[in-house]
Amino acid sequence: DIQMTQSPSSLSASVGDRVTITCRASQSISIYLNWYQQKPGKAPKLLIYVASSLQSGVPSRFSGSGSGTDFTLTISSLQPEDFATYYCQQSYNSPRTFGPGTKVDIK
Amino acid sequence: EVQLVESGGGLVQPGGSLRLSCAVSGFTFSSYEMNWVRQAPGKGLEWISYISSSFNTIYYADSVKGRFTISRDNAKNSLYLQMNSLRAEDTAVYYCARDDFSRRVFDYWGQGTLVTVSS
């Protein structure tokens, strides 16, 4: 199975900050990397797919990049509603493993 | 509007069984692959099972293989997860998720149902 890691595991940031989260795969997954946002008590929500494509309805302050084994999710200007946990997921093969998550909270 | 609604969770003793259901609406269920994903309290997301639209491909995570069975009824627009030989470590919120295979994403999720395995 492909193992996914994320860094940092948590971060504190302020509204308006630029935030970058990194995801790394244990082997090359081409561009098959998705990002999800999860708020407490809620289901995950798809943000980004195939590394850099923005899901419909997701604000343009979210962006993704990367290929191979290294990927990033960037929030260009953090908004109050963005405080949440973010998960990467590889969709290169089954099982579609998730990263351990990065919790973004208020500084 | 796409909707996925899980049900069937609850408290069960170790070694017991439970059957989860996921009722869907707002899309052509028979055209989509489906998944179950779980989340233990305070932990991350764990994919546990996949079923193809035509039933002919099924996958399980090693953690549930041999104990859980995924199935679907396209006539009833429903997905199921039969869980046997439950263990304390199976305690989690269980989500069903639609698989948009063309984009390789889980694009719609249910609200989740909590399964607690405890004596």
A75 bridge partner residues: A19, A62
Q: Which residues of A touch B45 (CB under 8 A)?
A: 36, 38, 44, 87, 89, 98, 101
Q: What is the largest CA-CA distance in chain B?
A: 43
Please give the order of strands across the beta sheet that includes A19-25: A4-7, A19-25, A70-75, A62-67
A39 falls in which pLDDT band (50, 70, 90)? very high
Q: Are strands B33-39 and A10-13 parallel, antiparallel or unpaired?
A: unpaired
Amino acid (one-letter) located at B11: L
Q: How many angstroms separate the CA atoms of B12 and A21, rounded?
A: 38
C-alpha closest to that of A6 among A20, A24, A18, A19: A24
Q: Find tokens 């999860």 and name the residue.
A: A38
Give contacts of A 44-63 with B, CB under 8 A: 44-46, 49-50, 53, 55
CA-CA-CA-CA torsion sign (A88, B28, B78, B7): positive
Measured CA angle at A55 (ends A83, B44), to 5 deg: 45
Q: Residue B37 has which token pair?
A: 């994903």
pLDDT per position as a tens digit, A45-62: 999 999 999 999 999 999
B54 falls in which pLDDT band (50, 70, 90)? confident
pLDDT per position as a tens digit, B1-47: 999 999 999 999 999 999 999 999 999 999 999 999 999 999 999 99
Computed on alpha carbons and rounded to an integer, the radius of gyration of chain A in Å comes to 13
When scoring B51, B104, B107, B111 by the number of chain A Cβ atoms within 10 A, the one with the most, hence best to mutate, is B104
Half-sphere exposure for B98 (CA within 13 Å, toward CB):
26
B56 falls in which pLDDT band (50, 70, 90)? confident
When scoring B45, B52, B65 by the number of chain A Cβ atoms within 10 A, the one with the most, hence best to mutate, is B45
pLDDT per position as a tens digit, A5-25: 999 999 999 999 999 999 999
Q: Which residues of A touch B44 (CB under 8 A)?
A: 87, 98-101
Residue contact A43–B111, C-beta within 8 A = yes
